[in-house]
Amino acid sequence: MINAPSLANCGLFTMAEEMDGMIRGGVNFVHIDIMDGHYVPNIFFPLSIVQAVRKRYPNLTIDVHLMVTNPEDYVDRMREDGADYLSFHIDSTRFSRRLIDSIQQSGMKAGVVINPSQPISLLEPLVRFVDYVVLMTVEPGFAGQPFMHDALERLDELQKLKKETDTHFMISIDGGIDREHSAECMKRGAEILVSGIYTVFGQPEGLEKACASYQKEMETIQKEAGFIGLGAICLCEKENIS
């Protein structure tokens, strides 16, 4: 399970402190939202955030979620600035296959994002090619919205598609997840959990402790459910453990 805190939940004046806290709490993967005011009715972060985060935290895995029109225009800049994962919305381009190729050729993992109002079947032509699928569990554009409950059924549908197509993409869940939903999503095969206001930010124990306890809690649930995620399988193969 990957805990991917969404930096959109950081305070603008306290971001560095908050990020230091997350890292002390065991975070090694962060989710950065880029909104252009066209694809979604919000403008947030400036692109320069990616380079700034990369400079300060050279070992952090940076996952950029593009909520923009013309996502192809951002690939080179994101790579140069240090992104590791780059995802785009399925309806933000007419040429998803070309975009997936160009993201992967530039050395990043390519992800496709699907909104709550779009059928899972839209992903069918792409799942063989992407490294990950981001299932939105809120309408994109704003942090702090409530989780849409039918998302669990949609996650089951996505898992079904994964099995039927015998593909190996990772599943990321983005929007409004609390600890209960996190556990439900993990049991249904989600591996990257974008954490926000209901899981690690704004918790009474502070961000560092909340990140550590969230990770521990989710790993315990994972073990109890006997679930071994794709990330863990890859690691086992690499280290020759069975």
Site residues for ligand DX5 per CB under 6 A:
6, 8-9, 31, 33, 65, 138, 140-145, 174-177, 194, 196-197
Q: Does 89 bind Zn ion (CB under 5 A)?
A: no
Q: Whole-angstrom Cα distance, residue 140 to residue 147?
A: 12
| Active-site annotation, residues | 33, 174
- Is 191 in contact with 230 (CB distance < 8 Å)? yes
Tell me the three state secondary structure of residue 126: coil
Binding partner of residue 60 among ligand DX5, Zn ion, none, CB cut-off 5 to 8 Å per kind? none
Q: Interface with Zn ion by CB under 5 A: which range of 28-36, 114-122, 157-165, 195-203?
A: 28-36
Name the 3-class secondary structure at 109: strand
For 204, other C-beta atoms within 10 Å of its C-beta total 6
Nearer to Zn ion, 61 or 232 (CB): 61
CB of 198 to ligand DX5, least distance (A): 6
- What's the CA gap between 230 and 242, in Å, rounded? 13
Q: Which helix (H) or strand (E) holds 111?
A: strand 109-114
What tokens were used for 88?
Answer: 């785009």
188 binds, among Zn ion, ligand DX5, none (CB under 5 to 8 A by kind): none
Q: Which residues contact 234 (CB under 8 A, 6 or more apart)?
A: none
Which one of ligand DX5, Zn ion, none is in contact with 69 (Cβ closer than 5 to 8 A by kind)? none
How many chain residues are in contact with Zn ion, going by CB under 5 A? 3
For residue 118, the minimal CB distance to Zn ion (Å) is 16
Q: Which is nearer to ligand DX5, 117 or 240 (CB)?
A: 117
The option from ligand DX5, Zn ion, none interacting with 9 (CB < 5 to 8 A, set by class) reads ligand DX5
Contacts of 239 (CB under 8 A, 6+ apart): none
Single residue of 10, 30, 33, 74 touching Zn ion by CB under 5 A: 33
Rg (CA), the chain: 17
- By CB under 5 A, residue 65 contacts Zn ion: yes
Q: Shortest approach of Zn ion to residue 102 CB, angstroms?
A: 21
Least distance CB 118 / ligand DX5 (angstroms): 15
Q: Which long-range contacts (CB under 8 A, 24 or more apart) does 182-188 make?
A: 182/214, 182/218, 183/218, 183/221, 184/152, 185/152, 185/155, 186/1, 186/218, 186/221, 186/222, 186/225, 186/227, 186/229, 187/221, 187/225, 187/227, 188/152, 188/155, 188/156, 188/159
The option from Zn ion, ligand DX5, none interacting with 162 (CB < 5 to 8 A, set by class) reads: none
The CB-nearest residue to Zn ion is 65
Interaction of residue 174 with Zn ion, rule CB under 5 A: yes
Residues that bind Zn ion (CB under 5 A): 33, 65, 174
